Homo-oligomer: A and B are copies of this chain.
Amino acid sequence: MYTKKIEEDLNCGVRVAMKVFGGKWKCCILDAISQGISRPADISRVITDASPRVIEMHLAELLFFCAVEKDTDEVYPKRSEYRLTALGRTILPVIAHLEEWGQTNMEFVKDRQAVLDERMVIGMHAEMD
């Protein structure tokens, strides 16, 4: 985990939520675990865009904030199983809400992003609209 230089304000609900499940891949990880994909190696195989390292780090943070719990077989080959806690399960509907908004507006956002990408290639003339 990181040591922050700038004091963070956890008096805002949105910030608190982002603290717990705001990492780049945390929603994907929680989603995978909720589907029964419980071992780190399996999660890595499902979320191929994320490096195994970041999945480890995110799992450690989710564990620390008690969104997931771990159960490790200490004999080798080590096998860990991650499961959602009661707290973790309360996050799922919030993620579902985010996911729904994103799915609804995906095409529009992609289109706008394409405009932006094009501008970067050409050289950023023209206005923002």
> Which residues does A use to contact B, with CB under 8 Å?
1, 3, 9-20, 27-28, 49, 60, 63-66, 87, 90-91, 93-95, 97-106, 108-110, 112-113, 116, 120, 128-129
Contacts and interface: CB of A to CB of B under 8 A. Distances in A.
Contacts of A109: 10, 16, 19-20, 65
A27 B3 CA distance: 24
A49 B9 contact: yes
B10 A106 contact: yes
Majority secondary structure of chain A interface residues (helix, strand, loop or mixed):
helix
A58 to B, nearest CB: 13
Given A49-B9, A97-B94, A120-B3, A16 B106 contact: yes
A98 B18 CA distance: 8
Given A64-B128, A98-B94, A128-B60, A113 B13 contact: no
Q: Copies per complex?
A: 2
Contacts of A15: 102
A106 to B, nearest CB: 5
B98 A13 contact: yes
B112 A13 contact: no
Nearest to A103: B13
